[in-house]
Amino acid sequence: MDGAQLVKEWLDSLHERGRSQHTLDAYRRALDHFTAWNQTVYGESFDPGRIIPRDVEDWIICQRKDETAAPSTVNQRLVALSGFYQWVHGRGLVKNNPTAEAGSVRLDKRQPKGLDERDLRRLLRAVYAGSNLRDIAMVELLVGTGLRVGELLALKVGDLTVKSHTGKVVVRMGKHGGYREIPLTLEVRKALKAYLDRHPQKDNPEALVWTSPRGALSTRSAVLRMLEKYATAATIAPFGPHALRHTFASQYLKANPGDLRGLAALLGHASLNTVMIYTEPSMDDLEKRMQRVQASSGV
């Protein structure tokens, strides 16, 4: 059985189904890694029908012990190999799927990376210094609501309610099709009002909120470039829009300790388990706690 040809046919089928080139390249590298390992261990070309579950387990162990590959890397490769075997098994080209019982490598718990208070202040100062009303409103909204970048870009004028004493943003199609409403703080309302007052279609509820001289702002890369510009101006490390979602979540729990249900509703998560990561202490938190233990013990 020509393994290389089958891998090519599988990748071609994914391409026809609309998978991105980035995903296809990652899957190809993963299968290349497995076939190279197979060649090293057995001294023979990759034959999908000869692979057994023990091979998959040994491959995973090799990556972790001999290559010291990160758990996320091992898991990504396993996803590719599993996808390939689901395809060949579904077509009846192999009798068994050797990846069926393979478990992913457990990831270390990590607190999501957001901006600390100092960097957030420096960012906001840089954004306001730029005097671009759209950028100010966009950053204030991300920091003040935790919107995903896709939700941000999909907003229409009618999704925003901005009044002197109240306001909200409506996310009509969040992740997995979820609908939610998020109250707006005073600072966010002020920034949005200043921007919307000059919006060329402010009276059209169906108009997209974010515009540029070339039309509607609709790409994630445009938001990323904007944030990179202000990160440079603020002399802080570059970050993506998701970091501002984490920043919002951390600030919310700091102001409302233990309110995981409220945070989950605002972020658009159906499960409390998803927002539990924000309760994990950072290394700085643990160091401070250890110092308090030492101080209290008098050692």
State the alpha helices, DSSP H only, in 43-110: 53-65, 71-90
Would you say 191 and 131 are in contact if contact means Cβ atoms under 8 Å apart? no
Q: How far is it, in rounded angstroms, from Cα 178 to Cα 26?
A: 30
Active-site entry in 148, 189, 199, 246: 148
Extract the tokens encoding 267.
């972020």
245 in active site = yes
288 in active site = no
Would you give the DSSP letter of residue 156? Answer: B
Active-site entry in 122, 189, 245, 246: 245
Active-site entry in 33, 77, 246, 269: 269
Question: Exposure pattern of 170-203 as b/e (b: 16+ CB <10 Å)?
Answer: ebeebeeeeebebebeeebbbbbbebbeebeeee
| H helices, E strands: number in the chain | 13, 5
148 in active site = yes
Active-site entry in 91, 163, 175, 202: 175
Half-sphere CA count of 269, side-chain side, radius 13 A? 17
Extract the tokens encoding 96.
């068994």
269 in active site = yes
175 in active site = yes
Active-site entry in 27, 85, 230, 278: 278
225 in active site = no
Active site residues: 148, 175, 242, 245, 269, 278
